[in-house]
Amino acid sequence: MKKKIILKILKSLESESKVPSKEELGLELGEYGEILEIMQHDNLIFGVDIIRGGQGNKVLKVITRDAKITVKGIDYLEKNSK
C-alpha cells in the first residue's frame, strides 16, 4: 500500500510539481506525514516540512508547497512504474 502511495506522490511531483493532499490519497495526517518523512529521509523528495509535537511527537502539520522530486526519486519512479 505504501509503495503505491509513494509512486502516486512521485508521479504527481514529476508531472504537476505538486504533492497530492492527504485527502486525495485517502490518508490520515499522521500517516501522510510519516510517508513524506520517509521519502525525504530516503532522498526521493526534498522541501517538505513536517511539524511534530505533543504527546508521542505526533505529526501536527505538513507543508508541501516547496516539495521537489530528486534525481533518485525520478530513478525510483522509472524503475517501479509499469
User: What domains can you pick out in the chain, each with its CATH number?
Assistant: 2-80 (1.10.10.10)
Residue 70 is predicted with a pLDDT of 97
Kindly tell me if the per-residue pLDDT of 82 is higher than 80. no
Buried residues in 30-69 as b, exposed as e (16+ CB within 10 A): ebbbbbbeebbeeebbeebebeeeeeeeebeebebeebeb
Digit-coded pLDDT (tens) for 53-72:
989 999 999 999 999 999 99
pTM exceeds 0.85 for this model: yes
Residue 81 is predicted with a pLDDT of 87
Digit-coded pLDDT (tens) for 3-36:
999 999 999 999 999 999 999 999 999 999 999 9
